[in-house]
């Protein structure tokens, strides 16, 4: 029977009687429950380590050693994020190629503690990466692929140009281009002011992260968002409080941020009068327990230094390069000409936000895995299924 025949036959059948035991999403009063509870780093990484250099103690996360020889993927997060933003990507890339992932909490972020937390100049951040690798591996450093997102992508380019990683084999920059980045700086302070300054719980922060669209993949937000906030009383990163007690759950929160997106708002029943909450309940709802790990607004003087001249510096990098963007319109003139001349590989992933590697970790892993296999920097993992079905363009 053809598909057309099936459709015609179905159209003649009487409608099925709905089962009252199982409400449908469009039934009044039905509401999906979303799990905003945080997930620990150990679900994705094999080891966390504090690396002592002459400038401070840097928190890094490592996946397990590959079964066969492979490159070391050194991953640098964007401004305000943490090394845990690479958690899902690290799992996905290990399914495709033999490699080890090293995610670093950059100075001023995550659980890294340095002598001068406010020095976020491009040169300082790039030198930090070189110092970390020198401390960890010395002269026996494996082949290194630098992977950076947003600010981390700019630091990757600076690291490559400063030659502080002698074993560098390639560079991957995710969703950062000089022209669009410099244009966005004018509205950056307004964007930062639009974010809530405090959260009453870790779940509250994760819920905001997803509803505001900062991260569109809730599973990634559950592991990465705790690395971006600290406990106001203790000053420690919220990841140090995990796992949370089982009874530590929150009610859904209504955000005042106009950019917040309410889930299933059209499915809720009409509002009914509710009793006035007691003073103790109101006080509990207004608790300010967590805040941002870093105040990005204070780093404004370094913003132009991250991105000024970035396109030409990217083109000047002497190793194979990959630029991964969330939209083709983000290319500026210098990169457009360079891409037409074949100076780097360009890949665009649609239907995702700025945190491309968090929103679509599997697709990003496929792109980077393909790039490494084509350049013969890595060997395929598993039974080689990905290599047999590797995209040709």
Residue 360, domain CATH: 3.40.50.1820
pLDDT over threshold 70, residue 92: yes
pLDDT of residue 193: 95
Tell me 225's DSSP state. Answer: G
Contact indicator for 77, 149 with CB cutoff of 8 Å: yes
More confident residue, 223 or 328: 223
Contact indicator for 232, 290 with CB cutoff of 8 Å: yes
pLDDT over threshold 90, residue 350: no
pLDDT over threshold 50, residue 225: yes
Render pLDDT for 305-319 as a digit per residue (tens, 0 to 9). Answer: 999 999 999 999 999
pLDDT of residue 68: 92
The fraction of the chain above a pLDDT of 90, given in percent, is 74
How many domains is the chain partitioned into structurally? 1
Q: How confident is the model at residue 351 (pLDDT cuts 50, 70, 90)?
A: confident
Which candidate in 175, 204, 299, 357 is catalytic? Answer: 175
In whole angstroms, what is the distance from residue 280 CA to residue 309 CA? 55
Q: Using only C-alpha atoms, what is the Rg of the chain?
A: 23
Q: What are phi and psi of 264, to 5 degrees?
A: 55, 35
pLDDT of residue 204: 97
Residue 73: domain span: 44-194+300-389
Rounded mean pLDDT, 203-224: 97
Q: 119 lies in a domain?
A: yes
Lowest mean pLDDT among 142-156, 290-304, 309-323, 375-389: 375-389
Q: How confident is the model at residue 386 (pLDDT cuts 50, 70, 90)?
A: low
Rounded mean pLDDT, 212-218: 95
More confident residue, 281 or 129: 129
Q: 30 lies in a domain?
A: no
What sign for the dihedral angle of Cα 359, 363, 366, 370? negative
Establish whether 256 is a catalytic residue.
no
Question: At a CB cut-off of 8 Å and minimum separation 6, what does 27 contact?
Answer: 267
pLDDT of residue 166: 87
pLDDT over threshold 60, residue 198: yes
pLDDT of residue 130: 97
What sign for the dihedral angle of Cα 327, 90, 168, 48? positive
pLDDT of residue 242: 96
Rounded mean pLDDT, 98-105: 98
Reading phi first (left if > 0) and then psi (alpha if -120 to 50, else beta), residue 273 is in: beta
pLDDT of residue 260: 46
pLDDT of residue 380: 94
More confident residue, 31 or 148: 148
Helix (H, G, I), strand (E, B) or coil at 272: coil
Lowest mean pLDDT among 17-21, 106-110, 169-173: 17-21
Q: 19 lies in a domain?
A: no
pLDDT of residue 122: 97
Q: How confident is the model at residue 221 (pLDDT cuts 50, 70, 90)?
A: very high
Establish whether 11 is a catalytic residue.
no
Question: At a CB cut-off of 8 Å and minimum separation 6, what does 87 contact?
Answer: 41, 43, 44, 45, 61, 103, 220, 223, 224
Which candidate in 77, 158, 204, 354 is catalytic? Answer: 354
Render pLDDT for 233-244 as a digit per residue (tens, 0 to 9). Answer: 999 999 999 999
Question: At a CB cut-off of 8 Å and minimum separation 6, what does 72 contact?
Answer: 99, 100, 101, 102, 141, 142, 143, 144, 145
More confident residue, 63 or 331: 63
pLDDT of residue 385: 60
Q: 172 lies in a domain?
A: yes
Question: At a CB cut-off of 8 Å and minimum separation 6, what does 85 contact?
Answer: 77, 78, 103, 149, 220, 224, 227, 355, 357, 358
pLDDT over threshold 50, residue 29: no
Q: 339 lies in a domain?
A: yes
Q: How confident is the model at residue 162 (pLDDT cuts 50, 70, 90)?
A: very high
pLDDT of residue 258: 43
The fraction of the chain above a pLDDT of 70, given in percent, is 78
Q: 175 lies in a domain?
A: yes
pLDDT of residue 332: 84
More confident residue, 335 or 386: 335
Task: Please provide the distance, in angstroms rounded to a whole number, between the alpha carbons at the two ends of the chain.
Answer: 37
Q: List Cα–Cα distances, 300 to 88, 165, 191, 296, in angstroms.
A: 30, 27, 13, 7
Question: At a CB cut-off of 8 Å and minimum separation 6, what does 209 contact?
Answer: 215, 221, 225
Tell me 270's DSSP state. Answer: P
pLDDT over threshold 50, residue 6: no
For 162-216, the three-class secondary structure string (H helix, E strand, C coil) is: HCCCCCEEEEEEECCCHHHHHHHHHHHHHHHHHCCCEECCHHHHHHHHHHCCCCC
pLDDT over threshold 70, residue 90: yes
Q: How confident is the model at residue 33 (pLDDT cuts 50, 70, 90)?
A: confident
Average pLDDT, the chain: 86
Q: 28 lies in a domain?
A: no
Which candidate in 82, 85, 90, 150 is catalytic? Answer: 150
More confident residue, 10 or 338: 338
In whole angstroms, what is the distance from residue 97 CA to residue 92 CA? 9
Q: 276 lies in a domain?
A: no
Rounded mean pLDDT, 383-388: 58
Helix (H) or strand (E) holding 306: helix 300-307
Establish whether 150 is a catalytic residue.
yes
Q: Please tell me whether the overall predicted TM-score, pTM, comes out greater than 0.75 for this model.
A: yes
Rounded mean pLDDT, 67-87: 97
């Amino acid at each position: 029977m053809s598909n057309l025949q099936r459709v015609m036959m179905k159209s003649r059948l009487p409608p099925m009687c709905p089962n009252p035991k199982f409400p449908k999403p469009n039934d009044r009063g039905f509401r999906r429950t979303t799990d905003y509870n945080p997930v620990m780093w150990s679900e994705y990484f094999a080891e966390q380590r504090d690396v002592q250099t002459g400038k401070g103690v840097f928190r890094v996360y490592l996946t397990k050693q590959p079964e066969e020889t492979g490159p070391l993927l050194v991953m640098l997060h964007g401004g305000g994020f943490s090394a845990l933003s690479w958690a899902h990507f690290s799992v996905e890339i290990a399914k495709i190629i033999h490699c080890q992932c090293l995610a670093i909490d950059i100075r001023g972020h995550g659980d890294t503690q340095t002598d001068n937390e406010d020095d976020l100049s491009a040169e300082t951040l790039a030198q930090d990466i070189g110092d970390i690798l020198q401390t960890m591996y010395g002269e026996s450093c494996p082949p290194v692929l630098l992977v950076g997102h947003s600010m981390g992508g700019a630091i990757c380019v600076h690291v490559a140009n400063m030659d502080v990683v002698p074993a560098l084999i390639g560079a991957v920059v995710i969703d950062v281009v000089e022209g669009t980045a410099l244009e966005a700086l004018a509205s950056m302070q307004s964007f930062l002011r639009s974010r809530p300054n405090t959260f009453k719980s870790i779940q509250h922060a994760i819920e905001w992260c997803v509803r505001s669209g900062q991260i569109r993949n809730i599973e990634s937000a559950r592991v990465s968002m705790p690395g971006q906030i600290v406990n106001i009383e203790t000053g420690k990163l919220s990841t140090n409080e995990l796992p949370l007690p089982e009874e530590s759950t929150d009610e859904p929160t209504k955000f005042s941020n106009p950019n917040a997106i309410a889930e299933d708002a059209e499915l809720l029943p009409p509002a009914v009068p509710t009793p006035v909450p007691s003073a103790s309940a109101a006080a509990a709802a207004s608790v300010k327990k967590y805040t941002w790990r870093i105040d990005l607004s204070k780093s404004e003087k370094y913003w132009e230094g991250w991105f000024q001249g970035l396109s030409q510096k990217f083109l000047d990098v002497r190793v194979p390069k990959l630029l991964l963007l969330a939209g083709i319109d983000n290319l500026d003139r210098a990169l457009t000409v360079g891409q037409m001349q074949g100076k780097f590989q360009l890949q665009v992933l649609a239907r995702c936000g700025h945190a491309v590697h968090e929103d679509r970790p599997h697709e990003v892993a496929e792109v980077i895995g393909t790039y490494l296999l084509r350049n013969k920097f890595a060997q395929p993992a598993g039974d080689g299924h990905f290599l047999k079905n590797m995209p040709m363009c």
